């Protein structure tokens, strides 16, 4: 087991925070905020048709969350890793006494933190506030989802040589993780598949909270999320051991 | 006796079936500069990657600071610095912040940042975004970062490639000062003038094989088989004369008659030795 040095992790996290604030990345959380607000307004108008405003706002929240977790957690993490390769700073860093685990933690820390914070900010933006016991469940599921998405982002980042290829590689994964839950209401098979995605579990949970169901999170769903987290870590470790952060 | 910092014993490397290094032996001691001289593709960068643990050799052993390169981990980088011609910089950070980042990672005191910036002549640009530096300034920043933690061994892979002569001279001055302070420098270059000026020992590398090894002077003298002299007389005529009884007599007469303006012995340069030994040019 490698020794972890906090000075190195924090130094990497500080620089990654600065990179995250760059124009290529910061647009993603802003996009998630804007998208949620837009959905709230659009669904707010639709609510007059019959569905309750609360339920529509909850739907806007669930869509915003999936958007945030996908675009911020997966895309930004992958993009930041790809940028280091493109600018040839990754090898410099890895030959400056930083080990793989320190770099991994330092990289995902700012994006993970931003994703988690935004998950809470999206509540007032969507107009749907969750409280009490459900807020605890909301926290557990969104935090776990954000973590899985950041690990997937790092995993995909291994295969991206530059920022353009990061976009190319992450887009199909993002589409699947975001679109399957979003369209699960309309296509039955997608509804079944969506139950096996952490993004689908998250959306279902929000809608179940809005529907005031007694049990909003199934034990099976928790198991699926944990398995996905373990799988993401496992895949990442296998790919990292084979190629490091650079697949060349 | 100065301490041995790098030892290469029969290093060979194959990529799939293609050999890129064949039976390489070399030594580098404290306060010395060892140059690996060869054209592109000769195996210079591969050698650096093997010594620094970024690449595993096919056979042979490499030792850095007494540790087998197969056993080193990232902690070795606290004692070595690496400059390559494609070492990147953080363009969105200022010059100072670039160094501060690595100072935090390597636990270097902040006072050292200004000291190094003055050393490489970038102190005036410390608050400038690194992305706005010229190529020469960027290379100096990369060098500043590599020596920030005062490493015991510095690897320089084509450090002055593409730089203007004045910047190259500044970098040479800095390297000689670092050498004087005891740093061991492993330099790869295809610039024979740079190698002659800087290196205590050079290895001429061609297609993965060291074809000559020694001090630049010894190598040149070893290949000085037909001794020649270039003579310029006051009347403007120039003569290139081989050493034999007849020409010794001619030179003697010119000197007696005070006709000689300049007289130089014509030892081969590293470049001509390389050409002679391999049939290839360095660059």
Residues of A in contact with B93 (CB under 8 A): 15, 18
B68 forms beta bridges with B63
**The token pair that represents A219 in the structure block:** 């034990």
Question: CB contact, 8 Å: B56 with chain A?
Answer: no
How would residue A150 be classed by pLDDT, with cut points 50, 70 and 90?
A: very high
End-to-end CA gap in chain B: 36
CB pairs under 8 A between A and B: 60
Q: Taken in order B276, B278, B280, B282, is the CA torsion positive or negative? A: negative
Phi/psi at B133 (5° precision): -80, 155
Taking residues B99-109, what's their average pLDDT? Answer: 96
Which of A15, A80, A105 is the best mutation test for B, with the most CBs of B within 10 A?
A15
Which tens digits make up the pLDDT trace of B193-248?
A: 889 999 999 999 998 999 999 999 999 999 888 889 999 999 999 999 999 999 99
The bridge status of strand B153-157 relative to strand B228-233 is: unpaired
Q: Pick from A22, A91, A92, A103 the residue to mutate for testing the B interface (most B CBs within 10 Å).
A: A92
Mean pLDDT of chain A: 91
Residues of chain A positioned with their CB less than 8 A from the CB of B107: 7
Cα gap B144→B133, rounded to integer Å: 14
Identify the residue whose tokens are 């090894």. Answer: B213
Could you give the angle at the alpha carbon of B73 between the alpha carbons of B71 and B76, nearest 5°?
105
- The yes-or-no verdict on residue A248 having pLDDT over 60 is no
Residue of A nearest to B52 (CA): A95
Residues contacting A79, CB < 8 A, separation 6+:
A24, A25, A157, A163, A166, A167, A170
DSSP A75: I
> What DSSP element (H or E) covers B70?
none
Residue A191 to residue A42: CA distance in whole angstroms:
23
- Round to whole Å and give the CA distance between A38 and A57: 11
Q: Which residues, including other chains, have CB under 8 Å from residue A143's CB and lie 6 or more apart?
A: A116, A119
Cβ neighbours of residue B100 closer than 8 Å, sequence gap 6 or more = B110, B113
Q: Would strands B59-64 and B18-29 be described as parallel, antiparallel, or unpaired? A: unpaired
Question: A89: nearest CA in chain B?
Answer: B88
Half-sphere exposure of B279 (CA within 13 A, CB side): 1
DSSP state of A163: H
What ipTM was reported for this prediction?
0.88
pLDDT band at A247 (very low <50, low <70, confident <90, very high): low
How close is the nearest chain A Cα to the Cα of B87, in Å?
A: 6
Determine the residue of chain B that is closest to A99 in CA distance: B74
Predicted confidence (pLDDT) at residue A187 exceeds the cutoff of 90: no
Is A190 a residue whose pLDDT tops 60?
Answer: yes
Considering the entire predicted model, what is its pTM? 0.87
Q: Cα–Cα distance between B157 and A206 in angstroms, integer?
A: 56
Give Cα B242 distance to the centre of its chain.
33
Contacts of B90 in chain A (CB under 8 A): 15, 87, 89
* Chain B residues within 8 A of A99 when measuring between CB atoms: 73-74
User: What pLDDT sits at residue B83?
Assistant: 93
pLDDT-based confidence at A170, cuts 50/70/90? very high
CB contact under 8 A, B105 and A7: yes
Scan residues 8-67 of A and list those with Cβ closer than 8 Å to B: 8, 10-12, 14-15, 18-19, 22
Contact B15, B41 (CB under 8 A): no
pLDDT for A50:
57
More confident residue, A186 or B219: B219
Q: What string of DSSP letters covers B202-217?
A: EEEEETTEEEEEE-HH
H or E element in which residue B6 lies: strand B4-15
What are chain B's domains?
Answer: 4-221 (3.40.50.300), 225-266 (no CATH)
CB burial of B13-34 (b: ≥16 within 10 Å; e: otherwise) equals beeeeeebbbebebebbebbbb
**Inter-CA distances, B53 with B29, B61, B77, B148, Å:** 19, 11, 10, 21
3 state SS of B22: strand
Rounded Cα–Cα distance for residues A55 and A64 (Å): 14
Chain B residues lying within 8 Å of A94, measured CB to CB: 74
Q: Tell me the pLDDT band of A101, cut-offs 50, 70 and 90.
A: very high
Helices A163-182 & A132-159, crossing angle to 10 degrees?
140
- Tell me the shortest Cα–Cα distance from A239 to chain B, in angstroms: 17
Q: Which residues of B touch A12 (CB under 8 A)?
A: 105
Q: Closest-CA residue in chain B for A9? A: B105
Q: What is the pLDDT of chain B when averaged over all its residues?
A: 91
> Considering CB atoms only, which of B52, B101, B104 is closest to A95?
B52
pLDDT of residue B1: 62
Burial readout B219-237 (b: 16 or more C-beta within 10 A, e: otherwise): bbeebeeeeebebeeeeee
Is the Cβ–Cβ distance between A20 and A76 less than 8 Å? yes
Q: Which residue of B has its CA nearest to A100?
A: B74
Residue B92 structure tokens: 């969105």
Tell me the average pLDDT across A23-40.
Answer: 93
- Residue A152: pLDDT over 60: yes
Strand partners, B203: B36, B213
Q: What is the model's pLDDT at position B282?
A: 63
Name which of B52, B92, B104 is nearest A19 (Cβ-Cβ). Answer: B92
Chain A closest-CA separation from residue B163 CA (Å): 19
Which comes out higher in pLDDT, residue B172 or A112? A112
Percent of all residues in chain B with a pLDDT value above 90, rounded to a whole number: 70
Average pLDDT over residues A192-207: 94
Interface of B with A in 81-140 (CB under 8 A): 82, 86-93, 101-102, 104-107
Tell me what pLDDT residue B283 has: 61
Helix pair A100-126, A132-159: axis angle to 10 deg: 140
Chain B residues whose CB is inside 8 A of the A84 CB are 88
Residue B84, pLDDT above cutoff 90 = no
Q: With an 8 Å Cβ cutoff, are A8 and B145 in contact?
A: no
How confident is the model over B170-180, as a mean pLDDT?
90
């Amino acid at each position: 087991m490698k020794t972890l040095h906090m000075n190195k992790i924090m130094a990497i996290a500080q620089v990654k925070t600065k990179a995250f604030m760059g124009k290529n990345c910061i647009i993603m959380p802003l996009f998630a905020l804007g998208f949620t607000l837009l959905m709230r307004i659009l669904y707010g108008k639709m609510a007059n048709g019959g569905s309750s405003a609360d339920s529509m706002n909850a739907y806007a929240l669930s869509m915003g969350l999936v958007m945030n977790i996908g675009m911020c957690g997966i895309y930004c993490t992958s993009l930041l890793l790809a940028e280091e390769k493109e600018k040839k700073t990754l090898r410099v860093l890895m030959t400056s006494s930083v080990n793989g685990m320190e770099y991994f933690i330092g990289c995902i820390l700012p994006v993970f933190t931003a994703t988690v914070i935004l998950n809470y900010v999206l509540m007032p933006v969507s107009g749907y506030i969750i409280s009490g016991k459900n807020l605890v469940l909301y926290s557990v599921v969104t935090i776990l989802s954000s973590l899985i998405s950041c690990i997937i982002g790092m995993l995909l980042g291994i295969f991206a040589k530059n920022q353009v290829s990061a976009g190319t590689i992450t887009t199909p994964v993002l589409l699947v993780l975001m679109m399957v839950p979003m369209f699960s209401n309309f296509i039955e098979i997608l509804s079944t598949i969506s139950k096996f995605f952490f993004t689908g579990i998250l959306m279902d949970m929000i809608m179940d909270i809005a529907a005031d169901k007694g049990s909003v999170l199934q034990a099976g769903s928790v198991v699926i999320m944990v398995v996905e987290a373990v799988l993401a870590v496992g895949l990442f470790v296998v790919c990292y051991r084979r190629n490091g952060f650079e697949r060349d | 006796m100065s301490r041995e910092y790098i030892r290469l014993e029969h290093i060979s490397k194959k990529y799939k079936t293609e050999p890129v290094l064949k039976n390489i032996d070399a030594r580098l001691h404290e306060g010395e500069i060892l140059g690996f001289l060869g054209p592109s593709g000769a195996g210079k960068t591969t050698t650096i990657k093997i010594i620094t643990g970024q690449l595993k050799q096919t056979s042979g052993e490499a030792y850095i600071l007494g540790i087998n390169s197969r056993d080193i981990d990232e902690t070795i980088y606290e004692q070595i610095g690496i400059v390559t011609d494609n070492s990147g910089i953080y363009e969105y950070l200022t010059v100072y912040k670039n160094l501060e980042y690595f100072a935090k990672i390597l636990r270097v005191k902040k006072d050292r940042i200004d000291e190094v910036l003055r050393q490489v002549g970038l102190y005036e640009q410390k608050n400038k975004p690194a992305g706005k530096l010229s190529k020469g300034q960027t290379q100096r920043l990369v060098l500043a970062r590599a020596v920030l933690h005062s490493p015991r061994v510095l690897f320089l892979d084509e450090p002055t490639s593409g730089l203007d002569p004045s910047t190259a001279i500044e970098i040479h001055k800095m390297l000689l000062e670092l050498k004087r302070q005891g740093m061991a420098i492993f330099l790869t270059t295809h610039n024979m003038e740079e190698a002659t000026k800087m290196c205590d020992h050079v290895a001429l590398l061609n297609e993965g094989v060291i074809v000559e090894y020694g001090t630049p002077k010894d190598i040149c003298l070893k290949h000085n088989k037909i001794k020649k002299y270039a003579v310029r007389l006051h009347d403007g005529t120039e003569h290139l004369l081989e050493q034999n009884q007849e020409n010794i007599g001619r030179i003697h007469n010119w000197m007696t008659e005070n006709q000689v303006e300049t007289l130089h012995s014509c030892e081969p340069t590293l470049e001509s030795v390389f050409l002679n030994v391999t049939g290839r040019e360095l660059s």
